[in-house]
Amino acid sequence: MPLGRAPAQPLVIAITAPGRPATARSVARVTACALWGLETALVTVEVDVANGLPALVVVGLPDAAVQEARERVRAAIRNSGFEFPLRRVTVNLAPAERRKEGTGFELAIALGILRASGQLHVDVTALCLGELALDGALRPVRGTMPRVRHAARRGVPAALVADANAGEAAACGVESFGFASLREVVDHLEGRVRVAPTPVPPKAAAPAYPVDLAHIAGQETPKRALEIAAAGGHNILLVGPPGTGKTMLARALESILPPLDDAEALAASAVHSVAGLTDPRHPVLTARPFRAPHHTASHLSLVGGGSPPRPGEVSLAHCGALFLDEVAEFSRSVLDTLREPLEEHAITISRAGGAATYPARFVLVAAMNPCPCGFWGDAERDCACLPEQIERYRGKLSGPLLDRIDLRVHVPRVPFERLRDDGRERSADVRDRVLAARERMRVRLAATGRRVNADLTVSEVKRFCSVNSETEALLAEAVGARRLSARGYHRVLRVARTAADLAGSDGVRNEDVALALLLRSDP
Amino acid sequence: MIGIGPADPRYPPRLLDLRCPPDPLWIDGDPVVLATRAVSLVGTRRMTPYGARVGRELAAACADAGVMVVSGLAQGVDSAAHQGALEGRGTTVAVLGAGIASYLQDTRGRRRRLAHAIRASGALVSEFPPESPPQKWTFAQRDSTIAALGELTVVVEAPVGSGALITAEEARRLGRPVYAVPGPIGVAASAGANALIASGKAKALTGVEMLLGVLELQAARRAQDDPDDEARVLDVLAASPLDPDALARRLGLGTTAVAAIVARLMIRGRIASTGDGRLARR
């Protein structure tokens, strides 16, 4: 086009001539959804096609990925057999004051342009999510589940997404349509080729757990502690020489945790969706997550972060368990970042562009050797560590972190002749007790908003964990002689409350307190 | 801090038995305590939980009976002995293998706090100038000084080649009684101490009562009478720390019953968790 020779004459006419047809200036609106962490907001993608120098401008605080969408959208529209309007195209992402991230807006922008330029003849009322390829193919995006759920709550009736995301969208309670390309979307909207709504995906079969408590010989006290951890949501530390089954015990925890309820399943699945870990066939989790990051993990991978922020292992373990094997080998600064999620049950990642909050309510299972070589106090092996090495090694778990660990148990070497013991309890039986205990907690704590005993505040401990005067006197003596800190005292009572719940007792009995003292973490 | 020579009236009289007494002896603390009755308690850095307990118990008993505890403020048994003496509200003296100022400057953490506590209750002592750094040979030399400062020497846990054996040898040369705490056969940390007993260079120390008997003292604190079940738990835990399962098996009791006994003993401070979930006598 001889642009250089005839500078912008049509433009002048467009602005000055009031007689141009109104259709050329119509604004199209398509609904999309923005995501910050797990926080969501509906975004109206407004597209205006006006006369002017051919250009595609995106406004409304787009980030770099959204800016790049311009090139993909332009190519996708052309390669899908449509015209890209050779006029000035303005895309506004409203509300304009918050930064928009990621590639999920591309389908909405493309449909808006087609609508505004008169190539799509119907309005789009559904939520549109998807990334476009240059050839017009539709690609899946992260975080489909929380975005569609948000739209569903706001009354958006349907969602148009990529095939791979259709299952998760359907699980959110809207009519969900999956497509392979932009062309298919347009054909569907105009009624030429109707696509059937994606059915709600079937729930995955009840999960098979790799380790059952019945596989583990001996270890009565550690098993008892695991049961208490599962029932009361208490964090637990397993200490023992190498090869005594710490990892197996930790793995067995998943098999005794209560099943996910619907709200928990959606919450945990949403985090997996944001991380892009959703299984398209079974988008809603049925098993509690069990995350076991390696001890070389950086704090970014553990608590999340990056730009744009991504959820870390603590959030992927939401509603499940986080297992830190060889916890003393983790770098200290990484371990210290666990304090916030352990305290707040959520993690906030602040960046210049805004803060993202991810949920992180998990049971922490940590395992470590008693000393660097692993044989401290072992009757059969000589330990090669100096006392101050051992102190440093154990010091890796700083006080504030240790404060959040209610149970600390020794996992001893099981003598060979006991490895073949019979009559071991199966996980299913233990899980029944855990479920019953959780039910007692639910009834008791209904008014407080807490779910498990581990979350009880100090005043709630006073209310729900009263003990008889003899035990009270015993504990008072321990606190008086500084053998038990005030914090340790409350921790003992919380664990004792769970032990009583497991035994089906309304009151906290002496033996529950005794057991809690046996399993408590601070000396 | 003062440095005093053998001619000084405050110079610890027992050190004069050495072939060449340290001149000067640097003292940070009260020089008077160095002339009181004293026992030297030494052992390996790589102690086991057994060594930790016995070291503390012996030191605490001495402290209770008014006898000063001399040791070397190394990691392991030495620290346990100082700690035990302080817990028994007694006096204790640390003989350092480096200059006193140099030691206080270089040491961090628990032993630094321990050093300050020892200075407050007794004294830090060194035969090396305050600023001189530790060398390999300085430790061997101070081991001899430890032997000379005590009326008798107790080796708590020592592997073959331990510096504690130098102290035992020096004590023998000075004609002071030497005792060694026997340990299990096959445990490296006790091999040197057992060898001392086997060769007749040391007598086997059978307990706190024997030590006090040798010192011709009465136990200041009478052994507490424990109810039967508690006594049995304490008995079983005397050999080594155990996890609750093993304890229950040894006693032939259920976990619940054991938990109740253990809770009472823990609250009374008779036993404690070893930091890895096992239970040990204190």
Strand order in the sheet with A290-291: A290-291, A321-324, A363-368, A236-239, A407-410
Q: Name every residue whose Cβ is closer than 8 Å to that of residue A208 and which is 6 or more positions away in sequence.
A: none
Instruction: Between A8 and A457, name the one with better pLDDT.
Output: A457
Which pLDDT value is given to residue A415?
72
Query: Does A229 score more than 50 pLDDT?
Result: yes
CA atoms A448, A453, A459, A461: torsion sign? positive
Percent of chain A with pLDDT over 70: 93
Which pLDDT value is given to residue B93?
95
Same fold, A23-189 and A213-415+424-448: no
Which pLDDT value is given to residue B225?
58
Closest-CA distance, A133 to chain B, in angstroms, reads 56
Instruction: Between A503 and A397, name the one with better pLDDT.
Output: A503
Q: Is B266 on the interface with A (CB under 8 A)?
A: yes
Are A412 and B246 an interchain contact pair (Cβ–Cβ within 8 Å)? yes
Report the C-alpha gap between A70 and A47 in whole angstroms. Answer: 13
Is the ipTM reported for this complex over the cut 0.85? no
* Residue where the block lists tokens 């032990």: A499
> What is B161-208 written as a DSSP string?
T-HHHHHHHHHHHTT--EEE----TT-HHHHHHHHHHHTTSSEEP--H
Query: Does A390 score more than 90 pLDDT?
Result: no
Report the C-alpha gap between A285 and A265 in whole angstroms. Answer: 6
Which residues of chain B lie closer than 8 angstroms to A382, CB-CB?
A: 187-189
Give the closest of A382, A386, A523 to B273, CB-based.
Answer: A523
The CATH number assigned to the domain with range A23-189 reads 3.30.230.10
* Averaged confidence pLDDT in chain A: 86
Report the C-alpha gap between A302 and A184 in whole angstroms. Answer: 40
User: What is the tens place of the pLDDT at every residue in A64-120?
Assistant: 888 888 999 999 999 999 999 999 999 999 888 888 888 889 999 999 999 999 999
User: What is the tens place of the pLDDT at every residue in A62-74?
Assistant: 888 888 889 999 9
CATH code 3.40.50.450 region(s) in chain B? 2-214
Query: Does A400 score more than 90 pLDDT?
Result: no
> Do the bridges between strand B271-273 and strand B123-126 make them parallel or antiparallel, or are there none, so unpaired?
unpaired
For residues B233, B235, B238 and B241, what is the CA-based torsion angle, rounded to 10 degrees? Answer: -30
- Residue A219 confidence class, pLDDT cut points 50, 70, 90: confident
Closest-CA residue of B relative to A408 is: B277
Are B46 and A478 an interchain contact pair (Cβ–Cβ within 8 Å)? no
- Residue A420 confidence class, pLDDT cut points 50, 70, 90: low
* Residue where the block lists tokens 């509690």: A288
For residues B138, B140, B141 and B142, what is the CA-based torsion angle, rounded to 10 degrees? Answer: 90
Please tell me whether residue A88 adopts helix, strand or coil conformation: strand
User: What is the tens place of the pLDDT at every residue in B78-93?
Assistant: 999 999 999 888 999 9
CATH code 1.10.10.10 region(s) in chain B? 228-281
Query: Does A374 score more than 50 pLDDT?
Result: yes
Query: Does A1 score more than 50 pLDDT?
Result: no
Report the C-alpha gap between A188 and A193 in whole angstroms. Answer: 5
> What is A442-505 written as a DSSP string?
HHHHTTTT--SGGG--HHHHHHH----HHHHHHHHHHHHTTSS-HHHHHHHHHHHHHHHHHTT-
Q: What are the residue boundaries of the structural domains of chain A, listed by start?
A: 23-189, 213-415+424-448, 456-523
Q: Name every residue whose Cβ is closer than 8 Å to that of residue A93 and which is 6 or more positions away in sequence.
A: A32, A34, A43, A44, A45, A46, A58, A59, A60, A61, A62, A66, A100, A105
Burial group, residue A188, by CB count within 10 angstroms (0-12, 13-18, 19+): middle
Q: Name every residue whose Cβ is closer than 8 Å to that of residue A151 and which is 6 or more positions away in sequence.
A: A31, A33, A42, A127, A159, A174
Which pLDDT value is given to residue A2?
46
User: What is the tens place of the pLDDT at every residue in B128-181?
Assistant: 999 999 998 999 999 999 999 999 999 999 999 999 999 999 999 999 999 999
Query: Does A442 score more than 60 pLDDT?
Result: yes
Are B243 and A483 an interchain contact pair (Cβ–Cβ within 8 Å)? no
Classify domain B2-214 by CATH architecture: 3-Layer(aba) Sandwich (3.40)
Closest-CA distance, B261 to chain A, in angstroms, reads 8
Are B276 and A377 an interchain contact pair (Cβ–Cβ within 8 Å)? yes
Alpha carbon distance, N-terminus to C-terminus of chain A? 83
Query: Does A245 score more than 50 pLDDT?
Result: yes
Global pTM reads 0.83
Query: Does A18 score more than 90 pLDDT?
Result: no
> Which residues share a beta bridge with B2?
B27
Q: Which residues in chain B come in under a pLDDT of 50?
A: 222
Which pLDDT value is given to residue B218?
62
Query: Does A16 score more than 80 pLDDT?
Result: no
**A110-149: string of b/e by CB count within 10 Å (b at 16+)?**
bbbbbbbbebbeeebebbbbbbbeeebbbbbbbbbbbbbb
The CATH number assigned to the domain with range B228-281 reads 1.10.10.10
Classify domain A213-415+424-448 by CATH architecture: 3-Layer(aba) Sandwich (3.40)
- Residue A10 confidence class, pLDDT cut points 50, 70, 90: very low
- Residue A17 confidence class, pLDDT cut points 50, 70, 90: very low
Which CATH class, in words, describes the domain spanning A456-523? mainly alpha
Are A514 and B262 an interchain contact pair (Cβ–Cβ within 8 Å)? yes
Give the closest of A386, A412, A513 to B243, CB-based.
Answer: A412
Which residues of chain B lie closer than 8 angstroms to A412, CB-CB?
A: 243, 245-246, 278
Residue A8 structure tokens? 């912008």
Which pLDDT value is given to residue B256?
78
